[in-house]
Structure 1
């Protein structure tokens, strides 16, 4: 038996295509979006006004029914549309739950 046919005998076989992806989706814990108090909103808005393009920030935000934390350089702040862009990730101000400026 040549090498190619022999190697095929030992290749993994996924009998149920998509099962692994379905199980990974089932394991994801979905959470409801938190509502911030007025004091928390004011504090978050104050911090949003302090950041500038090029700052390194850590942002925790709500996306697809879960909370995600990202650290990176601010590439754009669009106050008129309420969007913060970290590298290539666009985050709505309304979805942000926490913001830390790392170069303070």
Structure 2
């Protein structure tokens, strides 16, 4: 006899004390370990909330640039609404967030806007300022 020929035709053992594990739970045993990602329902929820980054056309980028220059040249500080993309640190995609505030300065070295509150917004991730792009799409 070679290999498992002596036991290959024996009946499969089924425990009397322990119920059989579901296929999903058995598969989870072989999934990568991620202790800090939370419960499996929470993982599904975060995967569903991840979005792809939208690419703005060159025309939209120019509109945003002109509008941003106009805001910066204004003599009086004013509240500005930004919509920008925040990449997810663990997987592909991310989420769009909105932040409002007065611009303190534009940091050209780090390529970001610094608000009066100290919050920073990367210039390359901005997709809309005060609804300008949304208004341009409606025309």
Q: Same fold (TM over 0.5)?
A: yes
Aligned residue for 2:77, secondary structure, equals: coil
- Aligned counterpart for 1:95 among listed residues 125, 129, 132: 125
Partners of 1:23 and 1:46 lie apart in 2 by 44
Which has more radius of gyration? 2
Q: Which residue of 2 aligns with 1:27?
A: 45
After superposition, the CA RMSD in angstroms is 2.6
| Distance change in 2, residues 1:55/1:79 (3 Å) | farther
Q: How does 1:11-90 map to 2 (within 5 A)?
A: 19=38, 23-24=41-42, 26-28=44-46, 29-52=49-72, 54-64=77-87, 65-86=94-115, 87-90=117-120
Corresponding pairs, count: 84
User: 1 or 2, which has the higher strand percentage?
Assistant: 1
Aligned residue for 1:70, secondary structure, equals: strand
Moved more, 67-76 or 23-32: 23-32
Gaps of 5+ in 1: 1-17
User: Greater relative contact order: 1 or 2 (C-alpha under 8 angstroms, separation 6 or more)?
Assistant: 1
Q: TM-score, normalised by structure 1?
A: 0.65
Gaps of 5+ in 2: 1-36, 88-93, 132-139
Q: TM-score, normalised by structure 2?
A: 0.51
